[in-house]
């Protein structure tokens, strides 16, 4: 039962991480330093904030379920 929940949580976690906005749109910009806004502290708003919070929740849930299965 718990293994099935872990499987669903892990699939949702992968999907939600793929939905997050890409802050470094081009790898060449990272190497050349063209993306100055990469490490700036910007506030997330709207859907970005929701996706970020869902990612945090699913990550914590994944860790807790994995730990319970490990101890069990």
30-72 pLDDT per residue, tens: 566 655 555 666 677 888 889 989 999 999 999 999 999 999 8
pTM for the complete prediction? 0.72
Residue 3: which region, alpha, beta or left (left: phi > 0; alpha: psi -120 to 50)?
alpha
Q: Is 72 helix (H, G, I), strand (E, B) or coil?
A: coil
DSSP 11-61: HHHHHHHHHS--SS--HHHHHHT--TTTTS-----THHHHHHHHHHHHHHH
């Amino acid at each position: 039962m718990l293994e099935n929940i872990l499987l669903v949580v892990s699939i949702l976690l992968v999907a939600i991480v793929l939905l997050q906005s890409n802050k470094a749109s081009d790898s060449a910009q990272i190497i050349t330093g063209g993306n100055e806004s990469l490490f700036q502290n910007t506030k997330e708003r709207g859907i970005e904030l929701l996706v970020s919070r869902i990612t945090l929740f699913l990550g914590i849930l994944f860790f807790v379920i994995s730990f319970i299965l490990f101890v069990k």
